[in-house]
Amino acid sequence: MSQIPSKKVENAVDALSRLPGIGRKTALRLALHILKGDDIEAEYLSNSILKMKKDIRYCTTCHNISDL
């Protein structure tokens, strides 16, 4: 794949490609989709991920995910 001209897009591609099943080409498509979308959608996505990480835990008894 050719070099991405923006370091910020490159960083987003690197982060997205760390997800399971997401290669660099798909990560680039996702990054460009987020970039082309409006700010509200990007904020919603990032806030949803942060809230999930903060507010969800695995149950120590049954190992299912559980809201705090």
| Per-residue confidence (pLDDT) for residue 2, from 0 to 100 | 60
Asked whether residue 15 carries a pLDDT value surpassing 70, the answer given is yes
Q: How far apart are CA 57 and CA 59, in angstroms?
A: 6
Name the 3-class secondary structure at 66: strand
Percentage of residues of the chain with pLDDT beyond 70: 97
Q: Answer whether 65's CB lies under 8 Å from 59's CB.
A: yes
Question: What are the structural domain ranges in the chain?
Answer: 7-67
Class of domain 7-67: mainly alpha
Query: Per residue in 20-47, pLDDT tens?
Result: 999 999 999 999 999 999 999 999 999 9
Asked whether residue 1 carries a pLDDT value surpassing 60, the answer given is no
| Per-residue confidence (pLDDT) for residue 54, from 0 to 100 | 95
